[in-house]
Amino acid sequence: MKKKMQEKGDVTEKTADGNAEIQQKTDENVNQVDNSDTAEESGEASVIEAAADKVVSEVRAIEEKLAELQDKYLRLSAEFDNYRKRTLREKMELSKYAEENILAKVIPFMDDFDRAIQHLDTAADSEAMKNGINLIYMKFSEFLKQNGVAEIESLNSTFDVELHDAVAKAPVEDESKKGKIIDVILKGYFLRDKVLRHAKVVVGE
């Protein structure tokens, strides 16, 4: 009986040892699986992080490109607006002064009329001739006015370098006439608000 009990104890001990060995192997397998999962998760995290960094880099590049394009657009828009305004202004000025050249060539005829009328009273011409020339003069003056040409009023006015060209100076006794225009050699004309020709004048001193 003592022998049987000893054998039973040996079996129990072997069973315990087997269970311990199985538990140890099981723990090792679990540890291997855990290590494998941890390594796999670490690898996936690295991939995700690398992908996220790439996306952030691409977004920044797109934002910088967008900012550059927007800046170029604003500059082009401003340049076009300036060009449009400048073109419109030049077009308006061209339209306003388009007749300048032709009218500048016509004005000398007015000079001839002025001289002829000044000598009519001393000439032996008939009254009809005088009236005819006066009529032509009046019609031509009206033509110039209709085209925006107006005479610069100069006689007895203060000399203005913007309007007059002083061709001579003459002494005057009247103090009030000093610096004033005492004679007009050649009339000056405006084309609307622009000086078409300066008046040639004599200034008192």
Task: Please state, in angstroms and rounded to a whole number, the distance separating the CA atoms of residues 43 and 48.
Answer: 9
Q: What angle do CA 76, 82, 84 make, to 5 degrees?
A: 100
- pLDDT value at 189 more than 90: yes
CA separation for the pair 104, 190 (Å, rounded): 10
- pLDDT, one tens digit per residue, over 91-123 is 877 777 767 777 787 888 788 778 777 777 666
Q: What are phi and psi of 7, to 5 degrees?
A: -65, -40
**What mean pLDDT do residues 130-155 have?**
84
Q: What is the pLDDT of residue 74?
A: 87
Tokens, residue 98: 């388009």
User: 194, 186, 197, 198: which is closest to 98 by C-alpha?
Assistant: 194
Q: Which tens digit of pLDDT belongs to each residue from 164-177?
A: 999 999 888 888 88
Distance CA 68, CA 49 (A): 29
pLDDT at 199: 92
Domain boundaries along the sequence of the chain? 1-96, 99-204
Mean pLDDT calculated for residue range 75-102:
81
Q: What pLDDT shows up at residue 36?
A: 53
Which architecture, in CATH terms, is 99-204?
Roll (2.30)
Q: Which among 79, 92, 187 is positioned nearest to 141, based on CA atoms?
A: 187
Is 50 exceeded by the pLDDT of residue 2?
Answer: no
Q: Is the pTM of this model over 0.85?
A: no
Amino acid 4: pLDDT: 46
Instruction: State which amino acid sits at residue 156.
Output: N
Q: Which residue has the higher pLDDT, 130 or 125?
A: 130
More confident residue, 152 or 5: 152
- The pLDDT score that the predictor gives to residue 15 is 53
Q: With a cut of 80, say whether residue 197 has pLDDT above it.
A: yes
Which has the higher per-residue pLDDT, 2 or 90?
90
Return the ∠ at Cα 28 (arms to 25 and 33), rounded to 5°: 125
